Structure 1
Amino acid sequence: MIHSFLMIGQSNMAGRGFLNDVPPIHDEKIKMLRNGRWQIMAEPINFDRPTSGISLAASFASSWRLFHNQEDDIALIPCADGGTSLDDWSVDGPLFQNAVFQAKAAQKISTLSGILWHQGENDSYGQNYKSYIEKLSLVIKILRDELNVPDIPLIVGGLGDFLKDGVYGEYFVEYNEVNEALMQFAKDHDHSYFVTAKGLTANSDNIHFDAVSLRKFGLRYFKAFEQKTDILGAVAGEEQMIKM
């Protein structure tokens, strides 16, 4: 049996961790969708830009494999796109429609078991946080409706505290408000769980999580999925995960 997971959001879901900063994860039973077929996972999984690299999805999948039937496969459906705002993910837009198309293709050859979301950096200014919950609620509702998975777990990740410290920090002055919106969204919606980015670190750009932190983030996403709860701090095993 194959359990698939949809990856959507912007660059920190696609992954910008440097490939040589962590050991690779090799497992023939972790797949990724390429051209309508499953291929053995290799990073970058979500190749949206030439700068794509390590993402949180690989350690999420590796953790899933440790705790589930060893005969089952897990598969990743990469649909994240860097630099996108929540408006770019509107239900009548190409990003949303592509995600639906890819997920439906995956449903023909797998069981869609979860949605992994990370987005918000591009909405961390101009008071966009005030409408964030309303907009995200519509995106997720229509996505679940289109895919006929009303109870599918959705994991949403928080933004990093490092955003304020970079050269472009002026564009992220409301990242705390976006984090609060993400947490509130998870509280207000069934089968939705928030994962904190507290303690995670960035590449030198102070925009993208580094490879080590993305390995840790994936473990937090998995714990939220497995325990059906918000994750508001570090979890056991994070340091070991980056050595796998």
Structure 2
Amino acid sequence: MRIFLLSGQSNMAGRGGVHQRRWDGVVPPECAPDPSILRLSASLAWEEAHEPLHADIDTTKTCGVGPGMAFARAILPELQPPGTAGVGLVPCAVGGTAIREWARGEHLYEQMVRRARAATECGEIEAVLWYQGESDAESDAETAAYQGNVERLIANIRADLGMPHLPFIQVALASGNKRNIEKVREAQLSINLLNVVTVDAMGLPLNEDNLHLTTEAQVKLGESLAQAYISNFLQATC
């Protein structure tokens, strides 16, 4: 399998279709299950993937549609030779989390690494998909430290997985604290490391909370992440 880590906070975990803490259950065709797309459950078992991907990972909040399924379905036809490779998704995102909670030694980071290592028994990790930063836009101090913290996160993941060139595809924020969102976005867009690509979510439609992406937006984001992977990394791995 081609394995992808899905990590960060709520917009990666998925809130598409969630209204007043309830998911409407609508799964667009771009996010429909496919036997070639699997997910690693909280108990480290592979199973056919379906929305909500993070239901047993981000357990204290209501999960809906995220970008993971749309991403997987978009890259599946591009894998060569056709029909010989599946996609394995490893959900790790947890809503409301700040970058400091993803530091080496913290629970979320160690859980992500543990899940990644378990996943490699069935394939190779192709990339980390990362969407996080809204929580850090709430604090001037955390905003100022954001770029360095993300760069440290990337270095730590690569070192701990023994993959110094592991692709890291991050999402630049679409929402957040008005005072600091542009500063966090600037930090995200300023990261200039080998095999780090940024997909910009700004302008995608938001739910009525003006924080979380709609189902339609999550589909578009997943497809944009897929294009980033195909354009920048797939040729090298085929």
TM-score norm. by structure 2 comes to: 0.88
| Equivalent residue, structure 2, for 1:110 | 123
Listed one character per residue, the Cα deviations across residues 107-131 of structure 1 (whole Å, up to 9, x for unaligned) are 1111111100000000113322221
Match of 1:32 among 39, 45, 62: 39
The alignment partner of 1:131 has SS state of helix
Match of 2:160 among 140, 146, 163: 146
Is 1:180 aligned to 2:186, yes or no? Answer: yes
| Equivalent residue, structure 1, for 2:100 | 87
The alignment partner of 1:195 has SS state of strand
Gap runs ≥5 in structure 2: 18-24, 234-238
Listed one character per residue, the Cα deviations across residues 186-230 of structure 1 (whole Å, up to 9, x for unaligned) are xx210000001132011111110011000000111111111129x
* Matched AA of 2:79: H
Please say if residues 121 and 172 of structure 1, whose CA atoms lie closer than 8 Å, have aligned partners that are also in contact: no
Match of 1:53 among 33, 58, 64: 64
* Matched AA of 2:36: K
* Matched AA of 1:33: L
Once the two structures are TM-superposed, the CA of residue 177 in structure 1 deviates from its matched residue by: 1.0
The alignment partner of 1:20 has SS state of coil
Please say if residues 199 and 224 of structure 2, whose CA atoms lie closer than 8 Å, have aligned partners that are also in contact: yes
Is 1:44 aligned to 2:48, yes or no? Answer: no
TM-score norm. by structure 1 comes to: 0.85
Please say if residues 27 and 51 of structure 2, whose CA atoms lie closer than 8 Å, have aligned partners that are also in contact: no
Is 1:72 aligned to 2:99, yes or no? Answer: no
- Aligned identity (percent) is 29
| Equivalent residue, structure 1, for 2:225 | 221
- Partner Cα separation in structure 2 for residue 153 and residue 41 of structure 1: 22
The alignment partner of 2:122 has SS state of coil
User: What are the residue-to-residue correspondences of 1:154-165 with 2, within 5 Å?
Assistant: 154-161=168-175, 163=176
Q: Cα RMSD over matched residues?
A: 1.4
Deviating more after overlay: 48-57 vs 113-122: 48-57
Deviating more after overlay: 98-107 vs 50-59: 50-59
- Partner Cα separation in structure 2 for residue 66 and residue 21 of structure 1: 20
Once the two structures are TM-superposed, the CA of residue 3 in structure 1 deviates from its matched residue by: 0.8
The alignment partner of 1:72 has SS state of coil
- Partner Cα separation in structure 1 for residue 117 and residue 67 of structure 2: 23
Is 1:13 aligned to 2:12, yes or no? Answer: yes
Q: How many corresponding residue pairs?
A: 218
- Partner Cα separation in structure 2 for residue 21 and residue 46 of structure 1: 14
| Equivalent residue, structure 2, for 1:195 | 199
Once the two structures are TM-superposed, the CA of residue 74 in structure 1 deviates from its matched residue by: 0.3
The alignment partner of 1:124 has SS state of helix
